[in-house]
Structure 1
Amino acid sequence: MSAWQRPTHAHVPGQNARHMEGAFDHIRASAQPGMTAADLAESDAFRHGLFYIDNGFYWEAHEVLEPIWMALPEGQDRRFLQALIQTANAFLKREMMRPGAARRLCGIARDLLPASREAWVMGIGAGRIHAMLDSLEGDLGSAL
């Protein structure tokens, strides 16, 4: 795996500058069509995407996770990746002060995740993502 690239800042549309064009291309390039789900789960793009979500870089997470989603065939792995992307988007909408959009995206993400919190997809427990959504929805509920 390449060295971790911590973004210079967490981009929030409408609040700060976007990253330079191509800033994440070298990370995105680690996810290629034809790779297996197991290989994609070991890619720099996947690992960086999770790191970015965990550390508040939600726009950046979407950027690096998208090529993985595009490379996966229809099925549970692809739905899981879409759930990760929608989870990042939900957190980003919270940062953009759009709680209604954040709530809607939480629902979309939950619909894409395995219902069982005990399920594992691409080496990640569904419970981990459900817990992130629980926390976000709790924050959004208290912000009414």
Structure 2
Amino acid sequence: MKPPNPIPLPEFAHVPGTNARHPERAFDVFHDSVREGMGPEDLRDTLAWRAGWHFVEQGYFWEAHEVLEPVWMALPQGGAERAFVQGLIQVANAALKLRMNRPKAARRLCDIAAGHLDGLPAEIMGLRIETVQRYLEGVRVRANL
């Protein structure tokens, strides 16, 4: 999925235990793009969804979780889209744990993420599952070194 412009990047990547958190309302512009009653097609166009994977690719893992959570919460229970977004959140969490030098936690989160991604259609909300799985495998490899 190519991130449409503009997607504002945070001033810094938060790493718990290393630097300060972002200000309380720093992600409101992303959260406000998600509204109750939106379906997967509507959510696909939100700033929160468009920023989520872009943040992961740019190394903003904590921030990716922050912007993807409202998308996940808005999706219907039991749907492929919800499982996919939950998998993306766990990919971001695994990469964050790896950055925090916690490879055991990263490996555990890789397994959880893979479980959410398993058996899904090839593409969901404009993002190919294979792209996410390749990224996840890279995190897993680095966590096993």
TM-score between the two structures when normalised by the length of structure 1: 0.93
Q: How many residues align?
A: 141
- 2:54: which partner in 1? 51
**Amino acid in the other structure paired with 1:127:** E
**Amino acid in the other structure paired with 2:137:** D
CA distance in structure 2 between the aligned counterparts of 1:99 and 1:24, rounded to whole angstroms: 28
CA distance in structure 1 between the aligned counterparts of 2:36 and 2:5, rounded to whole angstroms: 20
CA distance in structure 2 between the aligned counterparts of 1:56 and 1:140, rounded to whole angstroms: 16
- 1:89: which partner in 2? 93
CA distance in structure 1 between the aligned counterparts of 2:108 and 2:129, rounded to whole angstroms: 19
Superposed CA deviations along residues 28-67 of structure 1, whole A, max 9, x for unmatched, are 1101120110110111001111110010000000000000
Q: Is the 8 A contact 1:58 1:92 kept in 2?
A: yes
Correspondence 1:14 to 2:17: yes
Q: Is the 8 A contact 1:120 1:126 kept in 2?
A: yes
Q: 1:2 Cα deviation (Å)?
A: 7.3
Q: Is the 8 A contact 1:2 1:44 kept in 2?
A: no
CA distance in structure 2 between the aligned counterparts of 1:35 and 1:27, rounded to whole angstroms: 15
2:76 pairs with one of 62, 73, 77: 73
CA distance in structure 2 between the aligned counterparts of 1:2 and 1:107, rounded to whole angstroms: 32
CA distance in structure 2 between the aligned counterparts of 1:124 and 1:5, rounded to whole angstroms: 19
- 2:144: which partner in 1? 141
Identity %: 46
Correspondence 1:110 to 2:114: yes
Q: 1:4 Cα deviation (Å)?
A: 2.0
CA distance in structure 1 between the aligned counterparts of 2:140 and 2:92, rounded to whole angstroms: 13
Q: Is the 8 A contact 1:114 1:126 kept in 2?
A: no
User: Helix, strand or coil for the counterpart of 1:14?
Assistant: coil
1:37 pairs with one of 26, 37, 40: 40
User: Helix, strand or coil for the counterpart of 1:35?
Assistant: coil
